[in-house]
Amino acid sequence: PYDVLVVGGGPAGAAAAIYAARKGIRTGVVAERFGGQVSDTMAIENFISVKATDGPKLVAGLEQHVLDYDVDLMKTQKAVRLEKKEFVELELENGAILKSKTVILATGARWREMNVPGEQEYRGKGVAYCPHCDGPLFKGKKTAVIGGGNSGIEAAIDLAGIVEHVTVLEFGDTLRADAVLVKKANSLPNVTIIKNAMTTEVLGDGQRVIGLKYTDRTTDESHLVDVAGIFVQIGLVPNSEFLKDTLELTNRGEIVINAHGQTSIPGVFAAGDVTTTPYKQIIISMGGGATAALGAFDYLIRH
């Protein structure tokens, strides 16, 4: 069996693998798509000590750093089931079963998409999902936020300090965000909130986003909003479906961990966007991966 088996090859999984391998213990990584969300990222300007980089460069760096150690890297392999027996057993989609003394789950998350024309075409060219990451790219420009829940209203307040104007489009007839956030957003002169708005299309000039179309659900009329950036804030979904009924998840599907990265199953740890850790970011996921690997090592020397 492995000593540490990491599931996921994003920043959390890569950091966990490196920290584990540096202890000289048998380490494996199973990743459906090595690099994770970073592979889909254009500009990265908040990876501390590196002023500016991009996703593919950071992913190449992650892989080189992992392969610098004695790590079994199993790419394009998907985990479908986990069970704790004498060892922790991980079943892959191809039917193989891997055994390990400890497992670190770092399967990340995915942003829920609008599924409207133009969204895929202009992803990274005006369509964005992370205000902490991409907000500054729209300095002085007009932007929209799709979604009036907590993350949408937080994004609007955050962006209002950077961009010229923010239009929030909420599908329902009320905002689902906390009252204190709604009050704050309403007090900002450069934030407009439109309810009953169903976004129907992302408009672009072939290079970049130039606006969006929405339908007013009360009148059925179609409207245009002229914006350079669209932040989609309709939910972050943890990749934990295969763990349902296996270990403790929140009602949103996040894996519950303690300060050492330990889940509800002894010997099973978790890190990054798939967990209850607040603020989903590259540097935070890497820190989580390091914590989980050290937690797993601590567990191994006690068992």
Tell me, what DSSP letter sits at residue 47?
Answer: B
Q: Which of 106, 166, 212, 249 binds ligand FAD (CB under 6 A)?
A: 106
Q: Give the C-alpha distances (Å, rounded to integers) separating 241 from 134, 137, 218, 303.
A: 28, 34, 36, 29
x/- letters, 58..87, toward ligand FAD (CB under 6 A): --------------------xx--------
Q: Which of 98, 109, 228, 230 binds ligand FAD (CB under 6 A)?
A: 109
Q: Measured at the alpha carbon of residue 231, what is the angle toward residues 227 and 237, in degrees to the nearest 5?
A: 160
134 catalytically annotated: yes
Beta-bridge mates of residue 59: none
Position among 129, 138, 214, 269 found at the interface with ligand FAD (CB under 6 A):
129
Nearer to ligand FAD, 110 or 184 (CB): 110
Position of minimal CB gap to ligand FAD: 108
DSSP bridge partners of 193: 168
Judged by beta carbon, residue 87 or residue 242, the one nearer ligand FAD is 242
103 binding ligand FAD? (CB under 6 A): no
Nearest Cα neighbor of 5 from 108, 79, 85, 86 is 79
State yes or no: is 40 an active-site residue: no
Per-residue tokens: 148:
């009036």
SS3 (DSSP) at 274: helix
Beta bridge partners of 71: 27
**Residue 89 phi/psi, 5° resolution?**
-110, 135
Among 54, 68, 70, 133, the one annotated catalytic: 133
Residue type, 39: S
Residues designated catalytic: 130, 133-134
Binding site residues, ligand FAD, CB under 6 A: 7-13, 30-34, 36-38, 40-41, 44, 46, 78-79, 106-109, 111, 129-130, 133, 239, 242, 272-273, 280-283, 285
